[in-house]
Structures are given as structure tokens and as C-alpha cells.
Amino acid sequence: MKLAVITGGGKGIGAAISESLAADGYRILLTYNNDSQSAESVISKLRQDGVDCVAVKVDCGRTDEVFILADHPWMQDGVDALVLNHGMYHRSPARELTMNDLQETMDVNFRGAVAVYTALSKYLSKKASIVAIGSQLGIRGSPHGAHYAASKGALHAWARSLAIDIANSGQRVNIIAPGAIDTDILSGDDRQKRKERLKQIPMGRLGTPDDVAGVVSFLCGPNSSYMTGAILHVNGGLFLP
């Protein structure tokens, strides 16, 4: 059976991706860092549906932990889908950005993604699909998240470069740039903030984790076999580059 590895697969968008790829017939190996309860909840649900799955604690900001992930016995059978979904985002004005905040965010969101790919690359199957979860902010920037925007912009550039480099191998790399998705990152919105946010979105609603997960399933499936290096915008029309 095909194996999908989803970093940050235990909650929010990652949980929806784990469930979507499981429905597509993949075994699921998801990673989590702090929220073991959410990760185990996803695993329990999948197992009830007969899915072969496991959750592994990995801090993707620590290269030593990432490379330990490569020792998991499931890797020996090959990885058919790799979804680089983990991330962190702490809001602060761009003008007040500290070097420590920048370093931490880049270590997790960018260097961590590169480390996961590097650690698992020798286990990727010949037609493996790699999907990086970026962000619209990695293209348009953010006045209250310059470090996050920079990390996602770097992720986009690296993933597109990798796509070109390995294109003739049969492996593909694509990027999803979500807009405003209804996850914990927006849980601090008060009523007025949510109203203002919705006004900016032409479709008039927030995205759901399932909206992103469906695109991941497409990118990991045969109907996207001639796509690599693409950035797919899942944002309800909020940002049209």
C-alpha cells in the first residue's frame, strides 16, 4: 500500500490532509510536535476506518529529530506522497521583528521543510509527489508577520527550484498557497475582525481545512501527473497574483 508522510498532520489543515489521503488509499504517517492529543485523535479516527496509520513526535525545527524520522521502519517500503505542512506563526509588526523571531520561524517553516525532504529523499518512490504548504503571505508579504512571510517565500522558491531539478526523475513538487483558512491561527478574531476579514474575500467565506486537503489529494493523484513547480492559490479570490 502507498505511504503518505504528512508533517504537522495532527490538527487543522494537516489533519484534513491526513484524512483525505487516507481516503485515497494511503497508509498515513503523520508528525506532530506539541499537541499529542489532537494527533492521537486523528490516528484513532483513521484506525476506526481501517486505515494503517501512525503518529510520530518530531520537532521539525530540530534537524536531529527530523533525521531520526528517517529511521522509522515504514520508510523502507518507500514514500509515495510527502506533504510539508508543519509551521509556526507568531504575529508581530514587521518593524519590530527580532533576529531571534526570524531565526526560529525560518528554522521551523523553511529549514525544517528542507530537512524533512533531505532526510526522506532516498526513500521517495520513483513517482512520488511532494507538496509544500506555503501561503499567500509568502508572495504578498504581511505587515504583522514578516518573518512568516519570508519563511514561506523561501519555501516557495526552494520547492520550485527542487521541482526543476528532479523533474526528469518522475518525482513532482508543487506548492499550495492558502489564504484565510478557518483554523487555530484565526481563532483570536473577534466579531468585528471576522466581519472585516470576510468582506475582503470575494467568495464571502473562510476556507476550510478540507478545501486545502482536496487540492493536496489532486496533486498526489494521477490527474496532476503533468504538473510540477506550480503554486496553487486556495484563497476564495482573496489574492490573485
How does pLDDT run across 17-28, given as a tens digit for each residue?
999 999 999 999
pLDDT tens-digit map of 108-141: 999 999 999 999 999 999 999 999 999 999 999 9
d(CA 196, CA 134): 24
Catalytic residue flag (residue 26): no
CB 20 within 8 A of CB 217: yes
User: Which position has the higher pLDDT, 60 or 185?
Assistant: 60
How many structural domains does the chain have?
1
The verdict on residue 30 lying in a domain is yes
d(CA 7, CA 16): 12
pLDDT at 10 over 80: yes
The verdict on residue 69 lying in a domain is yes
- What is the per-residue pLDDT for 208? 96
- Look up the domain containing 209 and give its range: 3-234
- What is the per-residue pLDDT for 189? 80
Reported as a pLDDT band with limits 50, 70 and 90, residue 13 is very high
pTM of the model: 0.96
- What is the per-residue pLDDT for 161? 98
The verdict on residue 241 lying in a domain is no
The verdict on residue 66 lying in a domain is yes
Reported as a pLDDT band with limits 50, 70 and 90, residue 186 is confident
pLDDT at 188 over 80: no
The verdict on residue 146 lying in a domain is yes
- Give me the percent of the chain exceeding a pLDDT of 70: 100
The verdict on residue 239 lying in a domain is no
Q: Is the dihedral of CA 200, 203, 207, 212 positive or negative?
A: negative
Where residue 228 sits, what CATH number does that domain have? 3.40.50.720
pLDDT at 210 over 80: yes
Annotated active-site residue in 32, 123, 148, 226: 148
Reported as a pLDDT band with limits 50, 70 and 90, residue 173 is very high
State the DSSP string of the chain: --EEEETTTTSHHHHHHHHHHHHTT-EEEEEESS-HHHHHHHHHHHHHTT--EEEEE--TT-HHHHHHHTTSGGGGG-EEEEEE---------GGG--HHHHHHHIIIIIIHHHHHHHHHGGGEEEEEEEEEE--THHHH--TT-HHHHHHHHHHHHHHHHHHHHHGGGT-EEEEEEE-SBSSGGGTT--HHHHHHHHHT-TTSS-B-HHHHHHHHHHHTSGGGTT--S-EEEESTTS---
- What is the per-residue pLDDT for 19? 98
Mean predicted lDDT score pLDDT of the chain: 96
pLDDT tens-digit map of 30-86: 999 989 999 999 999 999 999 999 999 999 999 999 999 999 999 999 999 999 999
Phi and psi for 155 in degrees, rounded to 5?
-60, -45
pLDDT at 162 over 80: yes
Stretch 162-183: mean pLDDT: 97
pLDDT at 185 over 90: no
